[in-house]
Amino acid sequence: MSLMKPVYTVIIPVYNERESLPECHRRVSAVMEAVGEPYELLFINDGSKDGSLEILRGICAADKNSLCVSFSRNFGHMNAITAGMDFARGDAVLVIDADLQDPPELFPEMIARWKEGFEVVYGKRVERKGESAFKKASAALYYRFLKSMTNVDMPLDTGEFRLIDRKVCDAIKRIKEKNKYMRGLVSWVGFRQTGVEYVRAERFAGETKYPLSKMIKLAADGITAFSYKPLKLAATLGVVISLCSFVYLIVVLIQRLAWHSTAVGWASTVAIMLFFQGVVLIVLGVIGEYIGRIFEEIKDRPAYLVSEAINMDGSKPEDGNV
**Centroid of chain to Cα 8:** 22
CA atoms of 313 and 322, how far apart (whole Å):
14
Greater confidence, 267 or 65?
65
- In the chain, the largest separation of any two C-alpha atoms, in whole Å, equals 92
Greater confidence, 240 or 48?
48
**Centroid of chain to Cα 317:** 21
Note the pLDDT tens digit of each residue in 21-76. Answer: 899 899 999 999 998 889 999 999 988 888 888 889 999 888 889 999 999 888 88
CA atoms of 318 and 322, how far apart (whole Å):
10
Q: Is 83 within 8 Å of 303 (Cβ atoms)?
A: yes
CA atoms of 20 and 13, how far apart (whole Å):
12
Dihedral-angle region of residue 265 (phi above 0 means left; psi in -120 to 50 means alpha; beta otherwise) = left
pLDDT of res. 318: 47
Q: Is 308 within 8 Å of 72 (Cβ atoms)?
A: no
When pLDDT is averaged across residues 138-158 and rounded to a whole number, the result is: 71
CA atoms of 34 and 37, how far apart (whole Å):
8
Q: Is 181 within 8 Å of 226 (Cβ atoms)?
A: yes
User: Residue 108 pLDDT > 90, yes or no?
Assistant: yes
